[in-house]
Amino acid sequence: MNPNVGTLDRSVRIVVGAALIAATVAGVIGPWGWLGVVPIVTGLFRFCPAYLPFGLNTCATRGGK
């Protein structure tokens, strides 16, 4: 599992996921907000399986590789 989620992408995923969960706990949105766990996990592990079929990678290149 090579990382394919960059720093900005990672930060946005974690913030959005936490906001969805917080909104669910506060009763603002329904139980579907628990799906916020998915962007949090992909942000923490820096790997998104949905990026693979499309060849996406938001990580910065290192050392000109």
Query: pLDDT (tens digit, 9 = 90+) per residue, 8-45?
Result: 999 999 999 999 999 999 999 999 999 999 999 999 99
**Per-residue tokens: 26:** 């506060």
Its pTM stands at: 0.86
Q: How many CA atoms lie within 13 A of 4 on its CB side?
A: 13
Confidence of residue 60 (pLDDT cuts 50, 70, 90): confident
pLDDT recorded at residue 53: 95
